[in-house]
Amino acid sequence: MPNNTLLHSDNLVALNNENSIVLDCFCGSGTTLVAAQINNRKWIGIDQSELAIEKTKKKIEEIDSNLFMQNYDYDFITIQKERKYL
């Protein structure tokens, strides 16, 4: 686990309870969501960048492939932007 994830993990454990919901409105590469997943927090991640969402998915899947971690239940939902032309 990278140092940045460890820092996020420490903050999540200190600032909320297990099974709390973590909302990350700009999830970027998913570090906060990975920390939430590892520390038994439910999470909601939002990002408009498809690249950011793909990076987050990959990080979450890497957690699930670790033999020492329990499997988590999660789902990714994609919402398409409606384009309006004037």
CB 37 within 8 A of CB 9: no
The percent of residues in the chain predicted with pLDDT above 90, rounded, is: 0
Q: Pick the residue with more confidence: 6 or 29?
A: 29
Statement: the pTM of the whole predicted model exceeds 0.75: no
CATH code for the part of the protein at 3-64: 3.40.50.150
Backbone angles phi, psi at 60, to 5 degrees: -65, -40
Instruction: Give me the mean pLDDT over the 12-29 stretch.
Output: 84
pLDDT at 67: 52
Residue 3 has pLDDT above 70, yes or no: no
Residue 22 has pLDDT above 80, yes or no: yes
Residues 40-70 have pLDDT tens digits of 888 898 888 888 888 888 888 887 666 555 5
If we measure between CA atoms, which residue out of 83, 84, 32 comes closest to residue 55? 32
User: Domains of the chain: which residue ranges?
Assistant: 3-64
